[in-house]
Amino acid sequence: MIRLRLPLLRFAVLLCFLGLTSCASRNPNVPTHVLPATDSARITFEQQQVPDDCTVFAHLLITVPPALAADQMRQSIRQLGADHGADLVLLGLSRQSTLSPETVTFRAYGPQTPYSFAERWAGWKFGFTDWNKGGPLVDFGLNHLSGDEAAFTTPVDIQAVLLSCPAVGTGS
């Protein structure tokens, strides 16, 4: 009986240790996977516009400060994507944020391993703890990505996915 308990105890201790270290080392400001920077990242709001060869490598909540000009917001999101290796940034819903950043910031929520968008995309199912702390939903679309006037009067959280897409990256 003691021989059986010792391996189970070791296994339990190992699981606890792995669980503690993975939680303690998580940095929400660094995506789990970062690819070499790209020249630029395209933005889309339409899942149907994501090519079949795209791979999801980061789930994010992007927080945009109030009074940021729409052109600056678009450029900041494109730059954030390109700096982390994205060819394409898919944007989802947006809502008022409880944070008050001075610049565009983000929080990362995986995934554990990159995956095919066409085969495994399950929707906006990440970051709910933070997402649910926010205020009401905010209208956000292409009309908010151009111009020199502020897109929003309050901080806004935006759901985002970074994608690596060979066809987009080659200009095809």
30 C-beta neighbours (distance < 10 Å), count: 13
pLDDT at 9 over 70: no
In whole angstroms, how far apart are CA 105 and each of 41, 46, 79, 126, 152? 17, 22, 12, 17, 15
Phi, psi dihedral angles at 30 (to 5 degrees): -130, 120
Low-confidence winner among 91-95, 111-115, 150-154 (lowest mean pLDDT): 150-154
Residue type at 85 in one-letter notation: G
> Each residue of 20-37: pLDDT tens digit?
333 333 445 556 666 888
Separation CA 64–CA 73 (nearest Å)? 7
Chain position carrying tokens 């240790």 = 17
Mean pLDDT (the chain) is 81
Q: Residue 91: beta bridge partners? A: 160
- What is the structure's pLDDT at 56? 96
Q: Measured between alpha carbons, how far is 142 from 138 in angstroms, rounded to an integer?
A: 13
State yes or no: pLDDT of 143 exceeds 80: no
Residue-level pLDDT at 140: 81
pLDDT band at 108 (very low <50, low <70, confident <90, very high): very high
The average pLDDT across 80-104 equals 93
Beta-bridge partner residues of 59? 161
What is the pLDDT at residue 13? 36
pLDDT of res. 165: 94
Q: Name the CA dihedral angle for 162, 49, 168, 147, rounded to a multiple of 10 degrees.
A: -80
Report the alpha-carbon distance of residue 131 to residue 71 in Å, rounded: 25
